[in-house]
A and B are shown apart, each in its own frame.
Chain A
Amino acid sequence: MIPAAFEYYRPKDMAGVIALLQEHGDDARVVAGGHSLIPMMKLRMAEVPHLIDLQGIDGLGGITIKDGAVRIGAMTTQHEIITSQALADAAPIMKEAALQIADPQVRYMGTVGGNVANGDPGNDMPGLMQCLDAQFHLTGPDGDRAVAARDFYEAAYMTERADDEVLTAVTFATPVGGHAYEKQKRKIGDYATAAAAVQISKAGGKVATASIAMTNLSDTPIWSQAAGAALLGTDCGEAANKAAVAAMLDDIDPTEDNRGPVAFKRHAAGIVLGRAIARAWSRA
């Protein structure tokens, strides 16, 4: 389990990071917590001749909640998400999801930026960010830009981010209503067989808004516009729940792997989403 040799850099500012990314192109990668990248390098599934550590860059951490918006710096760890009371108050779905990622040691190291930039369909944060309609903030040689989480994922490990761009933060409007993050996994520390992120708001006893995304059921996260629409204006009862699940099942495209055959994954997806909708509604 020894990765190929690499040159290691720990630049002190973002300009230094971007200069290295430009100089080495495809041969360079940034490392945040390393808990997706290092296992891949150990297996030699990723070869990174030039490894650029982001730990020395100021301003990439921190959680800010202001004027109805949440900003989470890219280097914020899952552990910090769990222990931020302000974030738990503003967007409790973040904590509920982070507690279901990996195990304590991994959560001390794994960052939001790494989780969303990685592009692994098994990562939990991308679907969650799509549910929250988050923006990803990127900086590169040509300046800064923002990309919607719902437009970011192209295929497994393929994202909108250019090789010489760094993700600096994710932002989203403070969610309203009830939330749920529900995940089916084989054991603690396993990626999802199926996971659902749901936010529902209520007005006059009916569903006013609904946003639903699922994880590890396609080569990208799936935000299903149709699933949310199936709940709108309903009492979120059994019929509406079933309609939303059916809409989502039309949008996912799971493949068979060691977590089970396609039919099982579709079954698990339906159960997980049904529970998530019911829980989010009960909190709306």
Chain B
Amino acid sequence: MSNKMHVKLNVNGEDHEFLAEPRELLIYALREKLNLTGPHVGCETSHCGACTVTMNGKSVKSCTVFVAQADGAEITTIEGLGSPGALHVLQEAFKEHHGLQCGFCTPGMITRAAKLLEENPNPTEAEVRFGIAGNICRCTGYQNIVKSILAAATELNAAKEAAQ
């Protein structure tokens, strides 16, 4: 019963292939097989959003996806958005506006926010709050997270305009 299968994932632009039991949760494959420890395990019950990654263009809770379902998928984690030397606009904004305290929720929060801004580049405050409702933060009270995302939206739009 515990037959392993070949799983292929494209994560942050790189192809990976490994053996895994179908029941392995995507979050553990990312963290333990591919060493991508950005996405966190907060609740493991589909509620907190700390494990959020982008899979085939959707924000998903990777604790609620079997690795077998993800076979063949394209995935982006926080590691694919920016790096310490070249922060993503959202990472820069979170740093600037105190969008994090302990940082535990931050990778999921920013990965979700990136998708939100891709779909809705000019969100209102209410739309930001509704759009990150699947991500729980125990520290900040959300105020500065919302501020950071709105600031990043302005920044991204200005950059887009400048490029045109």
Contacts and interface: CB of A to CB of B under 8 A. Distances in A.
B23 A105 contact: no
A188 to B, nearest CB: 4
Nearest to B48: A189
A212 B69 CA distance: 37
Interface stretch (B11-19, B58-66, B92-100, B149-157): B58-66
Contact of A3 (B23, B71, B131): B23
Contacts of B64: 34-35, 38-39, 109
Interface in B126-164: 130-134
B76 interface: no
Interface stretch (A48-56, A65-73, A151-159, A274-282): A48-56
B2 A39 contact: no
Given A31-B69, A53-B68, A53-B69, A105 B134 contact: yes
Interface string B31-63: 000000000000011110100100000111101
B102 interface: no
B61 A189 contact: no
Contacts of A5: 1-2, 21-23
A35 to B, nearest CB: 6
B127 to A, nearest CB: 11
Nearest to A102: B134
Nearest to B28: A2
B5 interface: yes
A102 B116 CA distance: 16
B83 interface: no
A43 to B, nearest CB: 8
A5 to B, nearest CB: 4
Q: For this complex, into which size category does the number of interface residues on chain A fall? A: 20 to 34
A4 interface: yes
Interface in B89-136: 112, 116, 130-134
A241 to B, nearest CB: 29
Contacts of A106: 46, 61, 134
B66 A8 contact: yes
B60 to A, nearest CB: 6
Contacts of A31: 69
Contacts of B116: 104
A5 B21 CA distance: 8
A12 interface: no
A203 interface: no
A49 B66 contact: no
Nearest to B133: A188
B22 A6 contact: yes
B44 A1 contact: yes
A7 interface: yes
A124 to B, nearest CB: 16
26 contacts: A1-B63, A3-B23, A5-B1, A5-B21, A6-B1, A7-B3, A38-B64, A38-B66, A39-B45, A49-B1, A51-B68, A55-B69, A79-B58, A103-B49, A103-B133, A103-B134, A104-B112, A104-B116, A105-B52, A105-B59, A105-B60, A105-B112, A105-B134, A108-B60, A109-B58, A109-B64
Given A35-B46, A108-B58, 15 more contacts: A3-B23, A4-B23, A5-B2, A6-B23, A8-B5, A10-B71, A34-B69, A35-B64, A39-B45, A51-B66, A53-B68, A104-B131, A105-B58, A105-B61, A109-B60
